Structure 1
Amino acid sequence: MPVSQPSLTMEHQLFFDVIGERRSVRSYDPEIKISREELTDILRQATLAPSAANLQPWRFLVIDSPELKQKLHPIAFNQQQVVEASAVIAVLGDLECYTLAEKIYGMAVEAGYMPEETAKSFVERYTGMYSSMPPEAIHEKVYTDGGLVSMQLMLVARAKGYDTVSMGGYDKQKIMEAFRISERYVPIMLIAIGKAAKPGHPTVRLAVDDVAFFNEMPKE
């Protein structure tokens, strides 16, 4: 007997609408300003994303000053969305995120999510693991977690009626120097956020059959 499919609730449909309506927008209304309060809430919701050992290695440099957006403009290869968008968020990865393990797991104890002894063992385990890990391995972890939080940030922004575009086209060394970012952090991407002046172009996607394989990979 076939299993019936669950019906979509209004909440499910709204979520799928957010996914379907997200576009990479490169033309923004420069008159629209997102308040610090709302940007903070977008970031708060974004940081509910998962991360390895819950170490949350993402850090955000929010650039919403017109003067600093102009400073960023040539570093981002003169992409116009940098100066038009309400803000540009530099998503960074903290290579020393494990130093906050005690704080994170202490908060979990205070919230009643785990016993103190469990938290203590996690702190010892992950502090030891990360502090002895090769730099390239830590880079890989923070890039993965940075990608997760970035996607969540863009979906939260769309749910609130804003538009975004992720940007990999910028000079990573120059942004580190211009904004005095220490080598503790690695730049992952820039995200412009604001209200679209022109809608993003619709795009196509490969069929699931082209990208997903069950139980075994196809023969080359």
Structure 2
Amino acid sequence: MSSALQADYSTLFRERHSVRHFDASHKLSEQEVKELLEIAGRAPSSWNLQHWKFVAFTDPAAKETLLPIANGQKQVVDASVTIAILGDLEANRNTEAVYGPVIQADGEDSYAGYHSHQVLFTQIEEAYAAGASSSYRRDEAIRNASLAAMQLMLAAKAKDLDSGPMVGFDADAFVNTFHVPPRYIPVLLVAIGKAARPARPTTRFPVEQTVVWNGFE
């Protein structure tokens, strides 16, 4: 990677800030929103099951419906688009769709370190069957959907847009109002658009305060 490209990535990561105030006049086309979500959907996920579903709010009436559910946080209506990131509690149902094309292209040879595709499929189903009565499904849904959410915010910054994640909303009301199937759980909202004012300055702990080398003593 060239030093210039490295500098660009470093700038992108350092200049991404959480914005609360958006320019309500700035619009994004459906194609522009889809491009952001396509990049978000390239985030890593356990077994590549892609444990996320995106609900894109661009219609003013839909945003107004979302507003009280988001505790009146005005960025949900002022942003060009507000994306609800949902986690998939039944991501194992994606297995055939994810791996079917790979099997057709490459045959039944080992894949991703597994002796066969069937071994992989069995391990996925066993994990989800065992996790049906535990927090496994929920943990996986939140963990992997959060990866997609972060990738979405970085994609927005790369396109010279601003974003702001929100967890302060009524998840139950969201599910009921927008008829979310029980397969999915709301994880967070991400407002995307053009900042109307700079983000509030924040500080970060120095790396020496956040890293532990080779385990705790």
Alignment TM-score, normalising by the size of structure 1: 0.90
* 1:4 aligned partner: none
Deviations 1:38-78 (A, max 9, x none): 11111111111111111111111111110000000011010
Alignment pair present for 1:120 and 2:118: yes
Alignment pair present for 1:46 and 2:46: no
Aligned length: 212
RMSD: 1.8
CA distance in 2, matches of 1:115, 1:41: 34
Pairing of 1:51-130 with structure 2 (within 5 A):
51-110=45-104, 112=106, 115=109, 118-130=116-128
Superposition deviation, residue 114 in structure 1: 7.4
* 2:25 aligned partner: 31
**Paired amino acid for 2:45:** S
Kindly indicate whether the alpha-carbon contact (under 8 Å) linking 2:156 and 2:163 is maintained by their aligned counterparts in 1: yes
* 2:167 aligned partner: 168
**Paired amino acid for 1:63:** F
Kindly indicate whether the alpha-carbon contact (under 8 Å) linking 1:42 and 1:153 is maintained by their aligned counterparts in 2: yes
Superposition deviation, residue 112 in structure 1: 4.4
* 1:3 aligned partner: none
Kindly indicate whether the alpha-carbon contact (under 8 Å) linking 2:57 and 2:83 is maintained by their aligned counterparts in 1: yes
CA distance in 2, matches of 1:187, 1:193: 17
Superposition deviation, residue 127 in structure 1: 2.0
CA distance in 1, matches of 2:2, 2:107: 31
Alignment TM-score, normalising by the size of structure 2: 0.92
Kindly indicate whether the alpha-carbon contact (under 8 Å) linking 1:101 and 1:127 is maintained by their aligned counterparts in 2: no
Moved over 6 A (4+): none
Query: 121-130 or 75-84: which moved more?
Result: 121-130
Cα 1:119–1:162 shift into 2, 3 Å: same
Kindly indicate whether the alpha-carbon contact (under 8 Å) linking 1:105 and 1:123 is maintained by their aligned counterparts in 2: no
Kindly indicate whether the alpha-carbon contact (under 8 Å) linking 1:108 and 1:114 is maintained by their aligned counterparts in 2: no
CA distance in 1, matches of 2:5, 2:169: 37
**Paired amino acid for 1:96:** E
The percentage of aligned residue pairs carrying the same residue is 34
CA distance in 2, matches of 1:126, 1:72: 35
Q: Which runs of 5+ in 1 are unaligned?
A: 1-6
